Copies of this chain bind each other. A is one copy, B any other.
Amino acid sequence: MYSDSLREEFRKAGVKEGDTVRVTIDGLSLEGELMPKPEIGSGSTLILKLKNGYNVGMIYGKGSKIERLKTGSSDISFPKASIKPSKGLPRVLILYTGGTIGSRVDYKTGGVYMLTKPEELLHSVPEISEVASIDVKHLFSIASEDITYIEWQQIAKAIAEAAKDGYHGVVVTIGTDTMHYTSSALSFMLKGINMPVVLTGAQRSSDRGSSDAFLNLLSAVSIAAKSDAAEVGICMHRSSSDNECIFIRGTKVRKMHTSRRDAFRPINDSPLLLVKNGTEIEKLSDYRTVNEKVRAPAPSVKGGFEKKVAIVKLYPNSDPGVIGYYVDKGYKGIILEGTGLGHGPVSTDHKEFLWLPAIEKAVKDGVVVGMTSQCIYGRVHPSVYRNLRLLSNAGVIFCEDMTPETAYVKLAWLLGNYTPAETREMLPENLVGEIKSRILYREFMN
């Protein structure tokens, strides 16, 4: 959305999208066609398509000026799409929340922007209507890097309602950047959910030949419609070839590449399901199965979330004072991203880099402090430290084989729903599959 003030500028200048305009910012004037508002950027960002075909973004501020040079055609919208509910097939709800999977590049403009109607998503994947009877609900359109726990709560609520409404499963289309944080949050908020909840997205927008959107969406719908997994997970490409997707447990997954289609990898875990060609489902490892006897009742959403929880990374020369910053600000929880097995600079002779006193003080002040590893793979454990720790008052909780991201979400969720004492007890205990007692040999870089 454009900001109020920018819309007012457009109104005064009689400018609308598609018009050829001149924009002057800080003395620099550019002429071009005003493109549709991109999903990214602030409310004062506008995109001009220059005569050389190049799109340029500009931030419109105080003293900037926009003039209309030529009225444009208004033909920059999308073709209409429609969905017909297919009778007799399992009912699946698609929750649309934004992200690349819900965006497309306009060939005329070159700009990436959001679909005006989520139903357009289905337009290009007719196979979906043979798999499930689809309803689409447009929750919001937010780039995933801007999603907060407030949106997580909205998604959790919508899923619980879908369970109550008797859907066989739910697909959440969402931006990929923080998808694994969202899948962790939903795993905890919807603990005990009795249906498949499948998050999916795309690394490339859905109108590109190379897009992963179609296979991801079809595979996700297939899982939601046909599988017996009572799990929250992420369904994305298994490899860069475009014929297989995997369904990975929502608490054991991480975006491991900035751009590849197979960016989402299981961490210390195996994928739960393989989906071949979008519809053929194979079980790859054990998961919680749907209890058909109690399908209808909605799960009770435990949606509390403590926003005063931080991730703090330990690295050479790092400043332990940042712990004090969070403690002073009233933070209730801190997840440390330690080195190796869960270490940190706790016995260096260079006092300014010594973390132990700051950590001890935080724990004494009632902050719940958890330890994870920036290695990402593997398990932290106090090892020979265990006894030191038992007898000491440091009280850092080792978070087993959880990723820093899952441990962070879990800690914030626990503190939002339980007392600090209960939180300390539950943080290193498995609740929804986020902690495994044994990591298999193949579960490294797989």
Contact = CB atoms under 8 A, between A and B. Distances in A.
A146 interface: yes
Contacts of A314: 145
Given A42-B347, A144-B339, A392 B316 contact: no
A405 interface: yes
A317 B263 contact: no
A329 B321 contact: yes
A366 interface: no
A391 B42 CA distance: 13
A384 B342 contact: no
Interface string A250-263: 00000111111011
Interface residues of A, number: 94
Contacts of A96: none
Contacts of A322: 310, 322, 325-326
Interface in A365-402: 373, 375-380, 384-385, 387-388, 391-392
A353 B311 CA distance: 14
Contact of A148 (B257, B340, B343, B348): B348
Contacts of A263: 375, 377-378
A380 B340 contact: no
Nearest to A240: B441
A315 B148 contact: no
A143 interface: yes
A311 B317 contact: no
A341 B259 contact: yes
A176 interface: yes
Interface stretch (A53-61, A84-92, A210-218, A271-279): A53-61
Identical copies in the complex: 2
- Which of A344, A391, A408 has the largest count of B CB atoms less than 10 A from its CB? A391
Contact of A316 (B59, B148, B256, B375): B148
A339 B145 contact: yes
Given A148-B350, A263-B375, A322-B325, A258 B340 contact: yes
A307 interface: yes
A347 B388 contact: no
Contacts of A379: 258-259
A41 interface: yes
Nearest to A356: B42
Nearest to A259: B378
Ranked 6 nearest A-B pairs via Cβ: A258-B378, A57-B388, A177-B340, A177-B339, A146-B348, A145-B343
Interface of A: 25, 28, 38, 40-43, 45, 55-59, 111-112, 142-150, 152, 176-178, 181-182, 240, 255-260, 262-263, 265, 305, 307, 309-311, 313-319, 321-322, 325-326, 329, 337-350, 352-353, 356, 373, 375-380, 384-385, 387-388, 391-392, 405, 408, 412, 441, 444-446
20 contacts: A28-B391, A42-B346, A42-B347, A42-B356, A55-B387, A56-B387, A145-B314, A146-B348, A147-B348, A148-B317, A148-B353, A152-B316, A177-B339, A178-B316, A182-B316, A256-B444, A258-B340, A258-B377, A307-B317, A307-B352
